[in-house]
Amino acid sequence: MIELFSANTPNGKKISIMLEEIAYEYKVTKVDINNGEQFKEQFKKISPFSKIPVIIDHKNNKTIFESGAILIYLAEQSGKFYNEKDKTEINQWLMAQMGYVGPMLGQHHQFHHYNPGKSKFGEERYFKISERIYQELDERLSKSKFLSGDDYTIADIGTFPWIARHEWHDIGLAKYKSLTRWYNEISKREAVIKGFAFMDKNEVIPKP
Ligand SMILES: N[C@@H](CCC(=O)N[C@@H](CS)C(=O)NCC(=O)O)C(=O)O
């Protein structure tokens, strides 16, 4: 059984979606990151940077932090969504999500959604970068069915929950035809619908 320490955020949703996709039994332990629960000594023991998500795989007695590392671990354990032949390609798109797409859209959330009016520079900078990310993902997906090729992989699972916050981004997902095609296709997956609502059963994936 997998224990998932998480919160209802894009990084949190990546792992619940993956666990649903591979049909693993799991239990969610909520970490209240808005009230500083991530800094408790007990949690720091399993998460050195005091961040969610973290999993404990009780069967293998393993604890893993960092969502990309967790996705790779679960993919390797289950033998799903991380084809040997496409590994390098998948790693590229997954690492780009971890190092660029997620952190930049995360900053855009901070300036544009949570703290508008506090910093014109921050708002403009991360709006522009986010727009660029939409464009770059759209270009990739105009040439490729999924991010790393013909198959749905952990690179898509890692990226999807970030684009699913598109209403916060105010960029206009529908203008990006290939990104929207990809988004709609993933939105229909039963495991994605279920994993997306892992903390709030009534939560639905926003339409483009
Ligand atoms: N690179 C990390 C980022 C995780 C992350 O930023 N988690 C946020 C929520 S989405 C968090 O725990 N924030 C609490 C804090 O930083 O105090 C990952 O992908 O796992």
Which CATH number belongs to the domain containing residue 156 in this structure?
A: 1.20.1050.10
* 155: containing domain: 85-189
Is residue 195 assigned to a domain? Answer: no
| Residues 77 and 95 reside in one and the same domain | no
Residues 19 and 43: beta-carbon distance below 8 Å: no
Specify the residue with its C-alpha closest to ligand 1, atom 14: 51
Q: 143 C-alpha to center of ligand 1: Å?
A: 31
| Residues 114 and 175 reside in one and the same domain | yes
Specify the residue with its C-alpha closest to ligand 1, atom 6: 51
Report the distance separating Cα 15 and Cα 57, nearest Å.
Answer: 13
Is residue 197 assigned to a domain? Answer: no
Residue 86 burial (CB count, 10 A): 17
Is residue 205 assigned to a domain? Answer: no
Residue 63 burial (CB count, 10 A): 15
User: Which residues make beta-bridge pairs with 26?
Assistant: 2
Is residue 204 assigned to a domain? Answer: no
Is residue 36 assigned to a domain? Answer: yes
Per-residue pLDDT in tens (0 to 9) along the chain, 208 residues:
999 999 999 999 999 999 999 999 999 999 999 999 999 999 999 999 999 999 999 999 999 999 999 999 999 999 999 999 999 999 999 999 999 999 999 999 999 999 999 999 999 999 999 999 999 999 999 999 999 999 999 999 999 999 999 999 999 999 999 999 999 999 999 999 999 999 999 999 999 9
Is residue 202 assigned to a domain? Answer: no
Please give the model's pTM, rounded to 2 decimal places.
Answer: 0.97
From 4, 9, 11, mutation site for ligand 1 pocket: most ligand atoms within 8 A of C-beta? 11
Number of domains composing the chain? 2
Taking the alpha carbons at both ends of the chain, their separation in whole angstroms is: 35
Position in ligand 1 atom list of the atom nearest CA 51: 12
Q: Phi, psi at residue 82, to the nearest 5°?
A: -155, 60
Residues 93 and 87: beta-carbon distance below 8 Å: no
Position in ligand 1 atom list of the atom nearest CA 39: 17
Report the distance separating Cα 57 and Cα 3, nearest Å.
Answer: 7
